[in-house]
């Protein structure tokens, strides 16, 4: 017996029901993006490795899926290089392309390549899969979708405000209770400066970003391993564990960071975003969280993360300001800010909380039973009217036994079955059966449409 086929770890097949749920997620997010004037683009699954490498830090570079060159990729290698078994060096020789790690860096590349065609500020959204050679675990996959929205070509903090309104609107539509967390890389830089470790900002942010996962003691251990002094670590403790309301935290930071120009700039930006959103009356709470660091190197200003309140899972949305991202592609002076919805984690949250509306996941609404050629021809004429009214309907293709056709309707959770026999055709009607209640009634095509739509 042949071995059963499989798929790579960290990837998944999706059934018709699961795809209906996923499309509900994508369509909800897409609709909200449109409300705020964002336009859709797509970029290739593959990018040149030169585009991707060095944009995500050392940890991110290790998680890039590299694509082997076609043809004789050994031709440019010496025997010495082959025998060295140096995986990283060999990969750099015969891998010129890689699968995209996120949608932000490809977007930056797109902006630079198409700068003459773009009207700034450019508000784009993108819903596509990305790939990471990560260790698969609950809520973390090697292939997953991101739903990004970015604005480039504007320094205005109103962009940050609108993105947080988008987050709030999307999760309100889903019915998921969330906490929106906000911080600013300038605040973190100011903290590093006042504790005397300004050159260790990346090490500090990478470590404290793990606070929720590994705890304070392990964060402090990691900071020591990075060469940060015990004195500096001691100064850091009350700052990263700061509590109180957003206003109270900001007032404390104004005192603590008064000697740091960059730190105060971050406080002012955060104060503007939070105070403006306060007047908007968001449905979900927004919290200034100094432990939020987001390890990616390209964030330079405000940073965001969204946590579900009723499910234990990692961040389900994140993003931030990345003033200098397009600079690495030779286009300086273009400011950008964006967010990314983690569609796969949102899928898991909606499943756990059973929040999918029935109309979003139901497919066929009426199945026409097939008793033979004459009955099928009659049904096809009615089907045209039913579909024209926007009702999803199908005719069973074969004149099979009634039991088989009804089992098909049950398996697909089809709520109504239309039965057409000689008597129904003689009267110009159909027998409509409600599969949930079992009730049956003789109806015209128009009455069928009214019943199903109701």
Q: Does 440 carry a binding-site annotation?
A: no
Q: Does 356 carry a binding-site annotation?
A: no
Length of the chain equals 454
**Residues paired with 222 in a beta bridge:** none
Q: How far is residue 142's CA from residue 25's CA, in Å, rounded to a whole number?
A: 20
Nearest to 447 by CA among 406, 389, 395, 394: 389
Distances (CA, A) of 431 to 369, 374, 421: 10, 16, 9
Q: Does 298 carry a binding-site annotation?
A: yes
Q: How far is residue 32's CA from residue 38's CA, in Å, rounded to a whole number?
A: 9
Q: Does 299 carry a binding-site annotation?
A: yes
N- to C-terminal Cα distance for the chain?
Answer: 51
User: Which two three-digit tokens encode residue 103?
Assistant: 């949608």
CB 376 within 8 A of CB 367: no
Q: Does 85 carry a binding-site annotation?
A: no
Q: Does 104 carry a binding-site annotation?
A: yes
Q: How far is residue 18's CA from residue 350's CA, in Å, rounded to a whole number?
A: 11
Q: How far is residue 160's CA from residue 155's CA, in Å, rounded to a whole number?
A: 10
Whose tokens are 């564990």? That residue is: 241
CB 36 within 8 A of CB 125: no
User: Which two three-digit tokens encode residue 292?
Assistant: 């939020």
CA angle 82, 83, 87 (to 5 degrees): 65
User: Which two three-digit tokens encode residue 147?
Assistant: 């739903």
Q: Does 276 carry a binding-site annotation?
A: no
Q: Does 142 carry a binding-site annotation?
A: no
Q: Does 103 carry a binding-site annotation?
A: yes
Rg of the chain, C-alpha, whole Å: 28
| Binding region for L-histidine | 102-104, 132, 146, 150, 294, 298-299
Annotated binding site: 102-104, 132, 146, 150, 294, 298-299
């Amino acid at each position: 017996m042949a071995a059963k086929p499989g798929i790579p770890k960290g990837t998944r097949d999706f059934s018709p029901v699961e795809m209906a749920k996923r499309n509900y997620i994508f369509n909800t997010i897409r609709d909200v993006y449109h409300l705020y004037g964002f336009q859709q683009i797509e970029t290739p699954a593959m990018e040149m490795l030169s585009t991707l490498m060095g944009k995500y830090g050392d940890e991110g570079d290790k998680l890039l899926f590299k694509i082997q060159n076609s043809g004789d990729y050994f031709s440019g290698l010496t025997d010495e290089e082959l025998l060295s078994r140096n995986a990283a060096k060999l990969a750099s020789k015969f891998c010129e392309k890689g699968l995209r790690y996120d949608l932000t860096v490809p977007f930056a590349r797109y902006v630079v390549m198409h700068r003459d065609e773009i009207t700034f500020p450019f508000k784009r959204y993108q819903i596509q899969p990305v790939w990471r050679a990560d260790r698969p675990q609950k809520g973390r996959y090697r292939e997953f979708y991101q739903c990004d929205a970015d604005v480039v070509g504007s320094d205005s903090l109103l962009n940050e405000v609108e993105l947080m309104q988008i987050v709030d609107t999307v999760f309100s539509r889903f019915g998921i209770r969330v906490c929106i967390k906000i911080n600013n890389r300038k605040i973190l830089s100011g903290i590093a400066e006042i504790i005397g470790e300004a050159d260790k900002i990346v090490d500090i942010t990478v470590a404290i970003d793990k606070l929720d996962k590994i705890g304070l003691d392990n964060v402090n251990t990691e900071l020591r391993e990075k060469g940060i002094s015990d004195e500096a670590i001691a100064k850091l403790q009350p700052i990263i564990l700061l509590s109180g309301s957003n206003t109270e935290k900001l007032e404390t930071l104004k005192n603590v960071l008064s000697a740091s120009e960059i730190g105060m700039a971050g406080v002012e930006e955060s104060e503007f975003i939070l105070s403006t959103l306060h007047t908007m009356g968001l449905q979900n709470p927004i919290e200034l969280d100094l432990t939020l660091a987001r390890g990616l190197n390209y964030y330079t200003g405000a940073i965001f993360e969204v946590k579900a309140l009723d499910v234990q899972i990692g961040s389900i949305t994140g993003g931030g300001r990345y003033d200098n991202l397009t600079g690495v592609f030779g286009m300086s002076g273009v400011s950008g800010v964006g967010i990314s919805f983690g569609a796969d984690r949102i899928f898991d949250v909606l499943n756990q909380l059973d929040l999918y509306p029935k109309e979003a996941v139901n497919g066929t609404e009426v199945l026409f039973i097939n008793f033979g050629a004459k009955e099928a021809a009659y049904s096809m004429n009615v089907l045209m009217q039913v579909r024209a009214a926007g009702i999803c309907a199908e005719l069973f293709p074969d004149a099979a036994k009634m039991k088989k056709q009804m089992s098909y309707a049950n398996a697909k959770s089809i709520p109504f079955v239309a039965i057409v026999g000689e008597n129904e055709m003689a009267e110009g009607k159909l027998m409509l059966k409600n599969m949930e209640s079992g009730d049956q009634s003789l109806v015209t095509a128009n009455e069928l449409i009214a019943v199903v739509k109701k």
